[in-house]
Structure 1
Amino acid sequence: MVTLGVFILRFGVFNFQESPKFLVYRGHDDKAIAVLQHIAKVNKRACGVSKADFEALTTEEHSLTSASELLGAGKAQTQASVREKISIEFARYGLLFKGWQMTRLTILIWLTYICDFWGFTLAGG
């Protein structure tokens, strides 16, 4: 009964959306801006982000000063071939194992989720 209630709340009350970062990585800049505007509206703030801001970030000048790695973001993702998209995805997974600390953290998080799943499976049985 509780599960049914949570299910109804999830789809009936709460309006979850993809993160803007995920949408930009997938080349859906317009959807990312819509999500940012929705977040600003919920927080009663003005959203100053526009598509021109996203397009400005793809220039060489801005990409050199970025602190994070954007792999195939924006138009580069939508214009890439299937082989390039697969290569970009593997490069993203490679970031999870970049350096000793990141590798350790990735493995610990995966183990936490695995053990959590096993715990609920055993408790349900």
Structure 2
Amino acid sequence: MSLSTGELSEPLFIREDADVEYLVKDVNRVVHGVAYSGLHPSYEFFDDTLTKQFKNIALAMPNNGFYLRNYTPDWSSILFRFEGEGTPGDYYKFTKGGFNFLASSRDNIAPEQVHPMVGKTLQQEMA
């Protein structure tokens, strides 16, 4: 809805196969995008570069779901929690240099005990 005229427009973020689970917003309540629901959550942002970066992460980790947990104001560092094949719930910091392991949320579960997540992957959705 336009704040100046009150006119309604088409939705900015919509998918036929997933619901918007939550808004990605900062501490000032500025909305940057949305997170879609599912075993393999996906993200879409107003910034196309950021959307592409998240899609590339999903393509690089097709057997894992990754969940955005926090980020710096300039998005140069992003905190993710990964779950899925060989990953029982691990936290990683993403920077331009790649991923750095921080901690596991389930130290008592060995990675080889975690089976692949079953469901539609981003690769299947894009095919």
* Normalised-by-shorter TM-score class: under 0.3
Length-normalised TM-score, structure 1: 0.23
Higher-strand-fraction structure: 2
Q: Which has the higher contact order (CA 8 A, sep 6+)?
A: 1
Length-normalised TM-score, structure 2: 0.23
The structure whose Rg is larger is 1
